Structure 1
Amino acid sequence: MTASTHILTGDGVRIAYRFDGDPGLPVLVLSNSIATDLHMWDAQIAALSAHFRVLRYDARGHGGSDAPAGAYSLDRLGRDVLELLDALGLQRVHFLGLSLGGFVGQWLAVHAPERIDRLVLSNTSSHLSPAAVFDQRIRETHAATDMRAIGERFLRDWFPASMLAADDPRVAPFRAALQAQSADGLAGSFAAVRDADLRRTAALIVAPTLVIAGESDPVTLPEHGRLLAETVPGARLLILPAVHMANIECADAFERASIEFLSAD
């Protein structure tokens, strides 16, 4: 393992990243959900790094990356990844993104197809609406004195009530990340999701694609996953018995499916 380090984007924002695994293995980029950091993948690293050199990064506004004020765009979040790959001398990678990370994965596969080998899009969508919901979330985020209430709402959307009621230790790192979340970073990212619409352009994706959905996901509904899998040519669909964080709730099945798909010829 290596400690997190940073690159500087063209607009002056530091993006934190870290590698795990043998440098000789194919590179797999992991892209995190909104209001989390690269540690949301900690439980997957042992399994994934046995097959890939895993590159994790904190999206702008999250974790160890800078959190500039103002609305972010999916275009900017996607270009952050391209600048990261360029800085690290990586021409072509596998990509696995969950939720917001899945939006970024779609953008990359549409706008920079030569950089993406195989693609896993988990608990995500090509579009979320209505915009007014995100506008309200942005106002609430800026008005909040701390992240406690907002964080608990996220946790209710991400994990089954039984896990929360049992104080499952797998939830604790997510609660900690939420408490540390930058309000500017969260609000800016809400704007990126609000304005993103890949419902038509996802049909241009040529990378082999696996779509993973949670059958009880209240954020990105299983119907969103089905539509995405129907839109991306040749995409496969896997629905897991999970809420939003399928990598945590169904870790074994998630890791097995991802590794098998990403390792295919």
Structure 2
Amino acid sequence: MRLNYEETGPADAPVVLLGSSLGTTHAMWAPQVGVLAERFRVVAFDHRGHGESEAPPGPYTIDDLGGDVVELLDTLGVEQASYVGISLGGALGLWLAENAPDRFHRFALVCPPSNPAENAQMWTDRAATVRAEGTRAIVDATLGRWFLPEFTDIAPVREQLLNTSDEGYAACCEALSATNLQPGLKDITAAVLLVTTEQDTSVPPETVIPLASAIPGAHLEIIENAAHLVTYSHPELVNPLLLAHLS
């Protein structure tokens, strides 16, 4: 599977991969890339079915999506990297920590769903809606969950959602509908930073906070007055956490 990606920063610096949320592209990391690239070789990628990555017919599985990331490391000739992921990208981070521990040093996981299969019907219903009506059918509700009303600079993210392959989005929903990463949390050995927000209705903080005790040595940060896509809306709060953890 060929994933589209963009590299920034020194070619000989430690590598950090950036995995984005469902329905967005690597462009959602614009508030982080410049800061991280001062110290790291930053590789921001598009999940399969997103952006300019290939969009094969679904359904997909979390193994497919995680395997794509490991294959990307192989393509780049990178033995080990660190990983930052949000939402779907956060779930992938948990999968990678459990299934490819030899390939990663550190993980920073923002609002990561660890057991989306608990709400399987919601995901399969959303997949059906998007296949029938396109991502335009879910864009307003999605943005309403991702940002608080006072944050209005959402046009770029709206465009990413609207331009996402309907099949790619739906197939990733189906991957989430069958994903439960909780049984493997106790076996994670990498250093993990968990970030949640007080007003996240997509992946509520009460589902993220327990991960800090389930993952050995994990560190938890709770950001106030922010919703789900906090990397985009509050980079001034998130970026220092990432730099401190990854350095």
TM-score normalised to the size of structure 1? 0.90
Aligned length: 245
Out of 131, 142, 153, the position equivalent to 1:142 is: 131
Secondary structure at the counterpart of residue 3 of structure 2 = strand
- Is the contact made by 2:130 and 2:137 (CA closer than 8 Å) also made in structure 1? no
CA distance in 2, matches of 1:110, 1:130: 22
1:58 equivalent to 2:42? Answer no
The aligned counterpart of 2:157 is: 174
The aligned counterpart of 2:32 is: 44
Cα shift at 1:40? 0.4
The aligned counterpart of 1:124 is: 112
Cα shift at 1:147? 2.8
The aligned counterpart of 2:230 is: 246
- Is the contact made by 2:129 and 2:137 (CA closer than 8 Å) also made in structure 1? no
Superposed CA offset, 1:221-246 (max 9, x none): 10111122121101000011210011
Out of 203, 215, 222, the position equivalent to 1:220 is: 203
The aligned counterpart of 1:18 is: 6
Secondary structure at the counterpart of residue 210 of structure 2 = helix
CA distance in 2, matches of 1:43, 1:18: 14
- Percent identity over the alignment? 36
Aligned CA-pair RMSD: 1.0
CA distance in 2, matches of 1:43, 1:172: 15
CA distance in 1, matches of 2:3, 2:113: 24
The aligned counterpart of 1:196 is: 179
Report matched runs for 1:150-189 at 5 Å: 150-163=138-151, 168-169=152-153, 171-189=154-172
CA distance in 1, matches of 2:70, 2:26: 17
CA distance in 2, matches of 1:248, 1:32: 11
Secondary structure at the counterpart of residue 40 of structure 1 = helix
CA distance in 2, matches of 1:161, 1:207: 36
1:257 equivalent to 2:221? Answer no
Give runs of ≥4 in structure 1 deviating > 6 Å: none
Cα shift at 1:181? 1.1
Cα shift at 1:142? 1.2
> Unmatched 5+ residue regions in structure 1?
1-8
Name the stretch that deviates more: 148-157 or 89-98. Answer: 148-157
> Unmatched 5+ residue regions in structure 2?
none
Cα shift at 1:149? 3.0
